[in-house]
Copies of this chain bind each other. A is one copy, B any other.
């Protein structure tokens, strides 16, 4: 079976989902929907993706600049089995009615509230929960990063307490209207919603989060302190658990990767699409175990980390793979993410 997929919204997430779906052997990208013409739309056309008008888009606006329009988003929805909603936060919920009316399945982003879908999803954590579902929410970048780490740790050891500070990038690289330019903005929600959101995937995880926004565009960084009830024997054992899991990358201390700028430079040297870094980035010298207390940093590439999860979500919904491990293997091979 080849699942026919639409992507509604063609910004940071939508364009990446489109590329990823186009690479899958068991899926077909039928088209993408966008509101306004732009350099991003022109690249979609250059890649041969049929372009549909999202929401209140104007056909004339596209055609005036030589970008052919294949139809309205409603036309697109009629041609597919599932739509990946990549609209701005809160718009996904409004779009849900369209998808239901079209009688198709839908994947929503983590910016929507959990009740937008039957299940909140992370491939390593709860692939089975999405099997056969009609609506799935792929959790946000930060929640995905934490859920992956939780999948590694909780499956091997018992976690008693988890404190995470989320140091958030303030804007994506091309969002030139967003600041701050110089300063730190605390997120005035304590604990922050991230911990609650992780519990949509790991209902009983004793995790508490807080967040600040800082003037960078590259990646988020999580500062983690995990207290185990039954800990790993040593930090090497903990690191080995991460290293042997898909979608984790550990940088050695000799590599000179001092922070997120070098992670991004490594990604450029490696050369996946858009130089994305879809793994959790960990540092060997940024991890410690002291008795029952473990500490580790992880870098989260906000633009791309949810992309492989979205592909897996489609596979789970349509029962295209025997289990999560098989789906992850296919996704990662096609996207170029190295296996553990």
Contacts and interface: CB of A to CB of B under 8 A. Distances in A.
Interface string A191-205: 100000000000000
Given A223-B210, A225-B210, A181 B171 contact: yes
A178 interface: yes
**Identical copies in the complex:** 4
Given A165-B223, A274-B275, A186 B259 contact: yes
A266 interface: yes
Contact of A215 (B191, B213, B214, B271): B214
Contact of A212 (B181, B186, B223): B223
B186 A297 contact: yes
Interface in A265-313: 265-266, 268-271, 273-275, 283, 285-288, 290, 293, 295-297, 299
A63 to B, nearest CB: 12
A240 interface: no
A269 B251 CA distance: 26
Contact of A65 (B254, B259, B283): B254
Interface in A218-269: 218-221, 223, 225, 251-262, 264-266, 268-269
Interface stretch (A32-40, A91-99, A111-119, A132-140): A32-40
A88 interface: no
A179 interface: yes
A178 B254 CA distance: 21
Contact of A173 (B213, B256, B264): B264
Contacts of A297: 186, 190, 210, 212
A190 B286 CA distance: 7
B185 A182 contact: no
B268 A274 contact: yes
Given A39-B255, A40-B269, A181 B217 contact: yes
B65 A183 contact: no
A196 to B, nearest CB: 12
Given A15-B269, A167-B184, A208-B225, 12 more contacts: A39-B265, A40-B269, A173-B261, A176-B185, A176-B258, A179-B181, A181-B217, A182-B261, A186-B221, A186-B223, A214-B214, A269-B274
**10 closest residue pairs by CB, A with B:** A185-B259, A183-B261, A165-B165, A190-B288, A174-B265, A190-B295, A176-B180, A39-B255, A214-B214, A186-B297
6 contacts: A42-B255, A167-B184, A181-B216, A184-B214, A190-B287, A191-B290
